């Protein structure tokens, strides 16, 4: 019963479309009608600017973190990594945005923040370094996923290895079009870093 309750809460948390909310409330813009049409942090940066993008990425991270920390607060006997995956499902297929969501990179990172802050710090550093060098958000996201798996292996945490591997595979899947654009040299690069 606890699993069902916390899974539902995590999914609903993940379903909150912060990119849409920030765009509409702060800028009177539906970001799904601009840029890539995605409601995630990357398109928020692209369409709304750096300030809004930072707000959205922080909120999307917190969705995953809150989902994994809530069971602790209630002393629930659940495997928190599994609960976190429901937040990713909510972000990717959100109830509150017609099941068309983001690519779940930030929310996946939020799960890791809630479970292992050291791993989170490492992947944030990896992402920023990759982004600084490549200027591709999509490529940096995928590289960061691989780094997360490698670090999980170093930590010798089987559950973490399985979940980071699953999330990384999912991130690659969600970025299939980006991979094609990178190969064709048509993927947009950031200009603010």
- Cα separation, 35 vs 48, in Å, equals 10
Q: For the chain, what are the domain ranges? A: 2-183
For residue 35, the model assigns a pLDDT of: 85
Predicted pLDDT of residue 51:
93
**Which residue's structure tokens are 């490529």?**
139
What is the rounded distance in angstroms from the CA atom of residue 135 to the CA atom of residue 62? 25
Summarised one tens digit per residue, pLDDT across range 105-119 is 999 999 999 999 999
Paired tokens of 77: 């006997």
Q: What is the pLDDT of residues 7-34, one digit of tens each?
A: 999 999 999 999 999 999 999 999 999 9
Helical pair 41-48 and 137-155, crossing angle rounded to 10 deg: 150
Range 144-168 average pLDDT: 96
Residues 6+ away with beta carbon under 8 Å from 112: 64, 119, 120, 123, 148, 164
User: In the predicted model, what is the mean pLDDT of residues 166-183?
Assistant: 94
Contacts by residues 138-142 (CB-CB < 8 Å, ≥ 24 positions apart): 138/42, 138/175, 138/178, 138/179, 138/182, 138/187, 139/178, 139/182, 139/187, 141/103, 141/105, 141/171, 141/175, 142/168, 142/171, 142/172, 142/175, 142/179
Residue 47's alpha-carbon distances to 93, 107, 135, in angstroms, are 21, 20, 17
Contacts 24+ apart (CB under 8 A), 188-191: 188/46, 189/134, 189/135, 189/136, 190/45, 190/131, 190/135, 190/136, 190/137, 191/135
Average pLDDT score, the chain: 94
Structural tokens at position 73: 């607060």
Q: pLDDT over 90 for what percent of the chain?
A: 89
- pLDDT for residue 192 is more than 80: no
């Amino acid at each position: 019963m606890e699993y069902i309750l916390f899974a539902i809460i995590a999914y609903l948390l993940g379903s909150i479309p912060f990119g849409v909310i920030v765009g509409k409330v702060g800028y009177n813009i539906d970001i799904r009608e601009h840029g890539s049409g995605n409601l995630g942090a990357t398109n928020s940066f692209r369409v709304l600017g750096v300030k809004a993008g930072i707000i959205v990425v922080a909120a999307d991270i917190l969705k995953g973190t809150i989902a994994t920390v809530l069971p602790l607060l209630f002393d629930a006997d659940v495997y928190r990594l599994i609960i976190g995956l429901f937040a990713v499902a909510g972000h990717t297929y959100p109830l509150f945005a017609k099941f068309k969501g983001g690519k779940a990179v930030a929310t996946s990172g939020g799960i890791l923040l809630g479970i292992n802050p050291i791993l989170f710090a490492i992947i944030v550093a990896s992402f920023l370094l990759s982004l600084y060098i490549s200027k591709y958000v999509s490529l940096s996201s995928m590289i960061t996923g691989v780094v997360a798996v490698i670090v999980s292996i170093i930590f010798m945490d089987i559950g973490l290895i399985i979940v980071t591997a699953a999330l990384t595979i999912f991130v690659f899947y969600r970025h299939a079009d980006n991979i094609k654009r990178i190969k064709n040299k048509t993927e947009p690069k950031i200009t603010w870093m």
